[in-house]
Amino acid sequence: MTATFPDLHMPPRLLAPGGTPTDLRTHEDRYGPVPQAAADDILRLVAESGLTGRGGAAFPVHRKLLSVAAAGHRTGRTPVVIANGAEGEPASRKDRTLLRLSPHLVLDGIQLAAAATGAGEAHLALEEGAPDLESALTHRRDPVPVKVVRLPGRFLSGQSSALARYVGGGAALPAYHNPPIRERGVHRAPTLVQNVETLAHLALIARYGPDWFRTAGAQAQPGSALCTIHMPGHEPHVVEAPFGTPLHRLMPLHGTSAVLLGGYHGTWLPTPEAASRTLDATTMGAGVLMGLPTDRCGLKETAGILRYLASQSAGQCGPCLNGLPRISAAFTTLAEPGPQGSTRTDVARWSGLVEGRGACHHPDGTVRLVRSALTTFAPELDAHARGFCTEDH
């Protein structure tokens, strides 16, 4: 896997030039020390920058920082920061690439998020990789202590309430949270969970300001994002691109019949539609783009992903326990050529029944994938019903 940058008329911001990991001395030579700023100043810079989260939901960062800081003042409990480097999405490589190449940008961002919220401790949560992070931390003199937390390797480990539970000594499983963890999370303290890429952007905004940040991207969606690109016949690679970049400039679309945008909780688009789309914070999820080769069956691909997603459910809520295995099994039937009976309508109906009914968004993300597959691969479904499949030709 390599970290490359296509010809997008923008130098990479987050990924170290030349694909070489950046040690602390090089980092400080390049960027200078972490700016010392008051909480209100950091909050203002973030609000003006328009930075949104890069962990999948594109939530405005300043709103989350503000609510954690406010909950800290209201409750008298010192907030906790969790940097989310779990990267549980199997098709994503961007967070581990960022942590390998530019760990100190993430660690700077953690300190700035802690200063903005008044946090007294921070945790950097990772599934695997980044073995040098502990040593990167020992070279720094940070005011807020940061602990590296190694998570169990599961799709759900990176969900925010699962992280808060795990850091607090419990299982890495999502939980119903009322009030939300930004008000009462780790050891009942207000808890900020922010994706590692989001924190790295914060480290640059604090240095160069919101106007600089907005020189990339679109007015409504400023800045750039890391994307993991899967092209047929190539190793996945990570690129950094401004929002608004046409998808066809991020990856060549010839030789593909569809593109999975956003990863396993994402959306299938037929290639002609993908060719007309741009990189958009609200649809890119965690930044995965995966091209489906023309000789592969999208229904079989989707069935494989659904089996994985159903197997990853924590089995705590009805929709996941009953609904996802049932949807997955039915989809496996649709993926094989042959009579379909009522399976197609069953899958659509069950999708409606599980949506919005879990303690976390795992069922919702799964349903998003299912619905897009039923639409994008409708011609393939018809062919299967007649006993034919793309892969058989």
Ligand X SMILES: Cc1cc2nc3c(=O)[nH]c(=O)nc-3n(C[C@H](O)[C@H](O)[C@H](O)COP(=O)(O)O)c2cc1C
Q: Under the rule (CB under 6 A), what is the footprint of ligand SF4?
A: 156, 174, 313-317, 319-320, 358-360, 362-363
70 vs 315: CA distance, rounded Å? 34
Q: Which of residues 66, 99, 193, 279 is near ligand X by CB under 6 A?
A: 193
Any contact of residue 159 with ligand X (CB under 6 A)?
yes
Contact between 380 and 389 under an 8 Å Cβ cutoff? The reply is: yes
- Pick one of ligand SF4, ligand X, none as the site partner of residue 195 (Cβ within 5 to 8 A by kind): ligand X
Least distance in angstroms from the C-beta of 147 to ligand SF4 = 25
Judge contact between 167 and 96, C-beta under 8 A.
Answer: no
Pick the closer one to ligand SF4 by CB: 176 or 212.
176
5 to 11, 39, 154, 168, 319: CA distances (angstroms): 8, 34, 29, 39, 41
d(CA 13, CA 244) in angstroms, rounded, equals 16
| Residues 152-164: b if buried by 16+ CB within 10 A, e if exposed | eebbbbbbbbbbb
Range in contact with ligand X (rule: CB under 6 A) among 16-24, 114-122, 152-160, 374-382: 152-160
Nearest to 196 by CA among 129, 106, 257: 106
Stretch that binds ligand X, among 35-43, 101-109, 193-201, 220-228 (CB under 6 A): 193-201
| Nearest CA among 311, 294, 295, 316 for reference residue 360 | 316
Residue (12 or 262) nearer to ligand X, CB: 262
The answer to the question of residue 111 lying near ligand X (CB under 6 A) is: no
- Tell the smallest beta-carbon distance from residue 339 to ligand SF4 (Å): 31
Q: Which is nearer to ligand SF4, 113 or 125 (CB)?
A: 125
Residues 151 and 126: beta-carbon distance below 8 Å:
yes
Residue selected from 117, 160, 245, 278 as contacting ligand X according to rule CB under 6 A: 160
Under the binding rule (CB under 6 A), the answer on residue 257 touching ligand X is no
* C-beta neighbour count of 216 within 10 angstroms: 21
Among 13, 27, 54, 62, binds ligand X (CB under 6 A): 54
- What is d(CA 284, CA 171) in angstroms, rounded to the nearest whole number? 29
- Residue among 148 and 385 whose Cβ is closer to ligand X: 148
CA distance 86 to 321: 23
Indicate which of ligand X, ligand SF4, none lies near residue 315 (CB less than 5 to 8 Å, by partner kind).
Answer: ligand SF4
Other C-beta atoms closer than 10 Å to the C-beta of 91 total: 19
Cβ of residue 171: shortest distance to ligand SF4, in angstroms? 11
Q: Quick check: 156 binds ligand X (CB under 6 A)?
A: yes
117 binds ligand X per the rule CB under 6 A: no
- Bridge partners (DSSP) of residue 197 are none
Closest distance to ligand SF4 from the beta carbon of 208 (Å): 38
- By a kind-dependent CB cut-off of 5 to 8 A, residue 223 interacts, out of ligand SF4, ligand X, none, with none
Beta bridge pairs of residue 192: 81
Binding stretches for ligand X (CB under 6 A): 53-57, 59, 84, 86-89, 156, 158-160, 193-195, 198, 360-362
